[in-house]
Amino acid sequence: MERLNSLGVIPVNKDILYSLFSDLKFPENKVSELERKRLIIRIRRDLYVVSKQVHNREISIELVANHYPVSRVAHVHYHMSVIASACKNFK
């Protein structure tokens, strides 16, 4: 959890997550496990954000939106509503 906590609320790609667990033989399995446990939330393919239950801070819509083209703003709002509802389930 301390490794994930160091990421804060910044969206990160899978390579950053793999580097956090580079001491493991199969870091991709660890990333899948963290996603199943909802410690990380997949925003889109290969892009994740640490869930609120890890660091107890709100996920920034602005930071997530920076990873989408302007033409996909509605898509970002949909994803943020999904993430917000997922975070509510952890309380």
Q: Which of 5-14, 21-30, 54-63, 82-91 has the lowest mean pLDDT?
A: 82-91
What pTM was computed for the model? 0.67
Supply 12's token pair: 């990160």
Tell which residue, 70, 76, 22, has the closest CA to residue 49.
76
Q: What is the pLDDT of residues 34-81, one digit of tens each?
A: 999 988 888 888 888 888 888 777 776 677 766 665 555 555 566 666
For residue 84, pLDDT beyond 60: yes
Query: Residues 6 or more apart from 50 whose CB is under 8 A from it?
Result: 4, 5, 7, 8, 9, 39, 40, 41
Four-residue CA torsion sign, 44, 50, 56, 62? negative
Strand partners, 40: 50
Give residue 72's pLDDT. Answer: 53
